[in-house]
Structure 1
C-alpha cells in the first residue's frame, strides 16, 4: 500500500486515511514515500501508480513490467502450404450411414493425435438443406 508523509507534522499516513488527516492537520501537503513526489491540496488522489521498492532500491537489477506497447511487432508468419494427403483409411470402412461418434471412436482407438487429425480434416457443408460431412 502506498504511504505518504505529511510535510506539516511529519506523520506517515496510508493513502486511504489521507483525507481524514488533511482535515485534522491544517495546510497539509503530502509526499509519496516511494517516489518522493510532493502533492499540493488533493492532488494525491490522482496518484494511482508509483515506482516499486524493487525499482527504487535495485535500479540496475530491476527489469520492470513487460508492456505490450514497448515490444516490437512480431513479423507475421506465412501459413505453411497445405499438402494434400490421402484421405484416412478409416473412412473407407464406413458403409451406408453410421453414427459419427462410433466412426470417430473407432478411428481414434489407438491414438488421440489421430482423432485430432481427423477432426481437422472434416468439413461440414450445407447442400440442399442437408448437412454433409466431407
Structure 2
C-alpha cells in the first residue's frame, strides 16, 4: 500500500478483510493492539508465516516451543495453527488429538500446569482449552 495517502494503521482493516480460513483464525487470536498497529501486525505476520519458511509444516509443529512471556493460551492457539498447517487431526478426538495434547504439555514450559493436567482424561484439544481456562480462573 506504499504510495497511498491512507495512514498505515488503517491498512490493518484492509489486511483483515483479505484473510480467510486458517489465516483469519490466526488473526483472531492476536492481541487487540497488534490488530490495530500496522507495524506490530506486519511483524507478527512475518514471524508466523515467513520466519521458518525453510521448514516443513510438520517440522514447524514438532519444533514449536512456548516463547518467553507468551501466554499459555496464545501458545496453544499458535500450536493449534501449526498443527492445522501440518495436517494433524486434533480437533475430533482420537490418537492424534491425544498426541497433540501431550505435545502441548511437553512444550508449554509450565510445570505447574503440566502437573495439574497430566492425569486428567483429555479427549481433545477443546477439553484441554476448557481445563486451562478453569485453572487460570481459579
Structure with greater helix share of residues: 2
Give the TM-score of the pair, scaled to structure 1.
0.22
Give the TM-score of the pair, scaled to structure 2.
0.22
Structure with greater strand share of residues: 1
- Higher-Rg structure is 1
